[in-house]
Amino acid sequence: MNAHSKLKLPGCWTAMVTPFTSDAERVDVECFKQQIRAQADGGVTGIVPCGTTGEAPTLSAQEHEHVVATAVATAKSFNMQVMAGAGSNSTASAVKLHKLVASLGADAALHVAPYYNKPNQEGIYQHFMHVADAADLPVVLYSIPGRCGVAIVPETVERLSKHPNIVAIKEATGSVESATEIRRRCALPILSGDDVLTLAFASVGAIGVISVVSNIMPAMVQSLMQACLKNDFAAARAIHEKLLPLSKGLLSLDTNPVPIKSAMQLLGRDSGAVRLPLVKATAATNKSIGELCKQAGLILKQSNAIQVEAVH
């Protein structure tokens, strides 16, 4: 059985935060392992280290490798999959990272569209073809024009879908129309890249989500996707409505991953530290996040006894 046949995409993939020590100088490896165990307990399909939520741009090359290696070793012990962030706006660097995460045992690699350079669609196509040719490892495309300045348009997705190593796309365009057009053009599996749109994307054919809110509510997000995959949209809508205020707040109160790290700190799950140029949430934002967590049924930190519960 090859790597492609073993990869199971449907469901919730958690876009993991990278926990840092309180001074943000070092990766808190033990905290990271605990967070992965919490994801396993929540029953998610897999985890995504070193993506946007993982503050990949501020990780050194050595830290990036260590985070992916730790994710693979820990997740595998729980029979959980790993889709490692390996994208870059330098094609040569993306190829190098792709080969690295393949050597570390990742089940797939997540590759963002080249940012800042603003290549045209032919440049985007050739970039991803070079990456996909570099190693026999499944590639998940990542279209997030709000961060990159360019989108992977449906016509380009259709072209790329013909490469045997390109197995899915994370659609973080915020456009149900774009997801619908991709589904019309090709059979490439779609993963929602926005928690608030998971239900909407599933209604037009998405099979999963790469989720931020599942850092703290993994079981509920996985339940949402399972209901969608069973075409039980009444049940999915009920879960979506419970998650929506928190999902919206975590992506709108400040730049991701600042709000989710704030929430995890309030829940006793993380130091809350982010690396410059990001800065920690303000007191007002923290208060709002705390209220949203309580509304979602999460128990905020009380003395040294930390319990996190979700209302299902």
Long-range CB pairs of 179-182 (<8 Å, 24+ gap) are 179/204, 179/205, 179/206, 180/204, 180/205, 181/154, 182/154, 182/157, 182/158
pLDDT tens readout for residues 81-108: 999 999 999 999 999 999 999 999 999 9
| Token couple for 15 | 């876009």
Architecture per CATH, domain 3-233, reads as Alpha-Beta Barrel (3.20)
Q: Does the pLDDT value for residue 191 go beyond 80?
A: yes
- With H, G, I as helix, E, B as strand and everything else as coil, classify residue 201: helix
Rounded to whole angstroms, the Cα distance separating 70 from 89 reads 25
* Pairwise CA distance, residues 258 & 272, whole Å: 8
For residue 125, indicate whether it is catalytic.
no
What ranges do the domains of the chain cover? 3-233
Set 8, 115, 162, 170: catalytic member: 170
How far apart are alpha carbons 95 and 99 in whole angstroms?
6
In this prediction, what percent of the chain has a pLDDT beyond 90?
94
Q: Which of 142, 242, 261, 294 is catalytic?
A: 142
pLDDT value, residue 302 = 45
Q: How confident is the model at residue 301 (pLDDT cuts 50, 70, 90)?
A: confident
Q: Tens digit of pLDDT for each residue in 10-67?
A: 999 999 999 999 999 999 999 999 999 999 999 999 999 999 999 999 999 999 999 9
